[in-house]
């Protein structure tokens, strides 16, 4: 194995399934019957049957061998069933570990979503599963098959057993001595492949910027070096196969040569021709295939197992003492645990909610880009959103509006600069503390299976029915609650429309303890009147509201608007930006009704 972590994890997986391993060992012993009896039955068939002129007797002994083969074949099916009971639970444990590690990294303060976790889950975990099963299979096969062959050989002719065992041990020793180098080269090959993948992915993701900056030759050269490094690692790994061939030659073929050269002398010493033939059967049908399987299995799949499992263990650490809280919802970034009762619970307009306090947003020299060579999405942006303010963010598609929302919510860290919520720096703040400051509702609303009430209370579990129903009516979702059958109705998310899911997510955020609400195109599937109802409700709710707007009417309802106008976003009122920003005028021009609706003062009924 490549390290103590791999060995410890492997042994722990085996110890946890001792009963399944016991069944596997039992069926393996039955499967090894042909290896145990094959040479002896062949010797009896030759000496007591064919050479003695008793043809029927010889066939009877061979018939016994055929029966042993049939019994062994039947046991082979049970071996694979028992193997599944060992391997599949281990695969499930690794998959859970990878998912937990990816979620923990993505939701921690300053963490990033790790796209490599998908490769670990869909590829590396399956590699470990397959190679772990292969290792268990070939190792137990070698132990039982080679052990049975040596035992049978010892019963047939003890001196031959010693002569055959010596080169077998030498071949295994040569193979064991070469394993560390094989593991190192296998690890280098895997690492080179991952680096090539990252380099190629970065080049593809930023290809437009590469072309625009005239950096094609540099990028091609960098990817080319990664390709060369991986090719060198592959060739080195292929050369290591020579050591496996040496092990097989010494341990598998040298005993055959010893038997053939010593056969005349053995016969002169009184060993029967049948015994010599039986010994050859033990070596060629028992020892040699078992050695070949274990050397090829460990030298191939075993190395992939050690290296791949090692990478999973390093990149997906086990859950720690503080990692038992449920993950945040994909819809609203906040934990399931509410603040203690009586701490800041205050009514807001028609519906009381679990939280109080109005928080400002401060962006200080904020910069962000996707990849080191991509153009900046945000460059040195400084912006303050006052406590209680209603800000709308507009701009062309792909301008960076949702990226800004993710940065404010702390889902992604900036390349430079800082984000402060109510004076608290987002970087380094634990997720549960951030959840008390802000709630983000994305465009794709998440609704889970369960009751409607559980979905609406997800971020405020202590809210009573009256509070939840008041919130639903405030946001125009009362008719939806009635149609679905009330708060106790069981939901099938697949039966809800995109707009209905957005209403559920909006009510959930309305009840959340956070004072800052970020609506990232969270009402795009609602009709304009219902969208206006939702935004008015959040405006009356109190606190700070940031709306990533897809309709210009949302901007007209806000006290202040941030428009992504070229490289430098501009902030101002609706009327102010009509005069100052050509981008904003162009956006407004796509809408027939741009008359600013009546603005609702925040924090008032």
Q: What is the pLDDT of residues 98-124, one digit of tens each?
A: 777 777 665 554 445 555 555 556 667
| pLDDT greater than 80 at residue 574 | yes
Provide, for the chain, the percentages of residues in helix, strand and coil under a 3-state DSSP scheme, each rounded to the nearest 5: 60, 10, 30
Q: What is the pLDDT of residues 509-550, one digit of tens each?
A: 899 888 889 988 888 888 888 888 998 888 888 888 898 887
Residue 494: its pLDDT value, please?
79
pLDDT at site 114: 52
pLDDT at position 470 over 90: yes
SS (H, E, C) 239-261: HCHHHHHHHHHHHHHHHHHHHHH
CA distance 406 to 375: 18
* pLDDT above 60: residue 21: yes
List, in order, residues 6 or more apart from 161 with CB less than 8 Å away: 150, 153, 154
pLDDT-based confidence at residue 167 (cuts at 50, 70, 90): confident
pTM, two decimals, is: 0.46
Q: How many CB atoms lie within 10 A of CB 30?
A: 16
Q: Give Cα separations from 38 to 42, 257, 573 (angstroms).
A: 6, 20, 92
How confident is residue 482, by pLDDT bands cut at 50, 70 and 90? very high
> Mean pLDDT across the chain, nearest whole number?
77
Residue 481 has pLDDT above 60, yes or no: yes
Q: What is the pLDDT of residues 225-279, one digit of tens each?
A: 888 888 888 887 777 766 667 777 777 777 888 778 877 877 777 778 888 888 8
CB 20 within 8 A of CB 40: no
What's residue 507's pLDDT? 92
Inform me whether the pLDDT recorded for 401 exceeds 50: yes
User: If DSSP codes are grouped into helix, strand and coil, which group holds residue 46?
Assistant: helix
Helices (runs of H) and strands (runs of E) counted in the chain: 24, 14
**Rounded Cα distance, 75 and 426, in Å:** 61
Give percent of the chain above pLDDT 90. Answer: 6
b/e code 101-114 from CB counts within 10 Å (16+ = b): bbbbbbbebebeeb
Integer Cα distance of 603 and 598 in angstroms: 15
Confidence (pLDDT) at 467: 92
pLDDT number for residue 468: 92
């Amino acid at each position: 194995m490549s390290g103590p972590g791999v060995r410890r994890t492997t042994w722990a997986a085996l110890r946890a399934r001792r009963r399944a391993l016991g069944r596997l060992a039992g069926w393996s012993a039955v499967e090894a019957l042909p290896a145990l009896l094959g040479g002896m039955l062949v010797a009896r068939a030759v000496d007591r049957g064919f050479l003695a002129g008793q043809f029927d007797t010889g066939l009877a002994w061979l018939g016994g061998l055929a029966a042993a083969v049939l019994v062994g074949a039947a046991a082979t099916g049970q071996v694979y069933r028992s193997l599944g009971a060992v391997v599949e639970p281990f695969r499930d444990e690794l998959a859970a570990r990878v998912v937990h590690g990816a979620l923990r990294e993505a939701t921690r303060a300053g963490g990033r979503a790790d796209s490599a976790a998908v490769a670990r889950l869909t590829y590396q975990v399956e590699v470990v599963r397959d190679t772990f099963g292969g290792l268990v299979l070939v190792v137990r096969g070698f132990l039982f098959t080679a052990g049975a062959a040596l035992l049978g050989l010892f019963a047939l002719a003890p001196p031959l057993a010693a002569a055959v065992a010596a080169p077998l041990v030498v071949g295994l020793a040569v193979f064991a001595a070469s394993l560390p180098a094989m593991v190192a080269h296998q690890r280098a090959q895997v690492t080179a492949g991952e680096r090539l993948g990252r380099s190629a992915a970065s080049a593809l993701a930023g290809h437009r910027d590469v072309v625009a900056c005239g950096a094609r030759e540099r990028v091609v050269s960098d990817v080319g070096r990664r390709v060369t490094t991986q090719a060198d690692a592959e060739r080195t790994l292929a050369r290591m196969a020579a050591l496996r061939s040496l092990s097989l030659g010494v341990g598998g073929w040298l005993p055959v040569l010893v038997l053939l050269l010593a056969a005349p002398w053995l016969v002169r010493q009184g060993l029967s021709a049948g015994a010599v033939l039986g010994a050859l059967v033990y070596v060629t049908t028992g020892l040699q295939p078992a050695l070949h399987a274990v050397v090829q299995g460990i030298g191939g799949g075993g190395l992939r197992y050690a290296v791949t499992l090692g990478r999973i263990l390093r990149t997906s650490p086990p859950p720690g003492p503080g990692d038992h809280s449920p993950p945040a919802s994909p819809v609203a970034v906040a934990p399931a645990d509410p603040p203690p009762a009586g701490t800041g619970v205050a009514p807001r307009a028609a519906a009381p909610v679990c939280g109080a306090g109005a928080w400002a947003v401060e962006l200080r020299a904020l910069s962000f880009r996707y990849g080191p060579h991509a153009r900046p999405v945000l460059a040195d942006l400084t912006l303050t959103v006052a406590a209680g303010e209603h800000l709308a963010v507009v701009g062309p598609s792909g301008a960076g509006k949702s990226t800004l929302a993710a940065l404010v919510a702390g889902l992604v860290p900036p390349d430079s600069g800082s984000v402060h919520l109510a004076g608290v720096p987002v970087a380094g703040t634990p997720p549960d503390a951030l959840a008390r400051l802000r709630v983000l509702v994305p465009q794709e609303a998440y609704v889970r299976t369960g009751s409607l009430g559980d979905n609406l209370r997800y971020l405020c579990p202590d809210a009573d029915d009256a509070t939840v129903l008041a919130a639903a009516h405030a946001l125009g979702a009362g008719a939806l609650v009635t149609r679905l059958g009330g708060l106790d109705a069981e939901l099938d998310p697949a039966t809800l429309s995109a707009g209905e899911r957005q209403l559920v997510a909006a009510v959930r955020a309305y009840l959340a303890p956070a004072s800052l609400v970020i609506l990232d195109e969270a009402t795009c599937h609602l009709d304009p009147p219902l969208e206006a109802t939702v935004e008015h409700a959040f405006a009356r709710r109190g606190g700070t509201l940031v709306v990533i707007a897809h309709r210009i009417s949302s901007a007209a309802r806000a006290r202040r608007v941030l428009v992504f106008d070229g490289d430098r976003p501009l902030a101002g009122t609706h009327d102010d930006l009509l005069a100052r920003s050509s981008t904003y005028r162009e956006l407004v021009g796509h809408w027939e009704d741009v008359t600013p609706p009546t603005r609702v003062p925040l924090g008032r009924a």
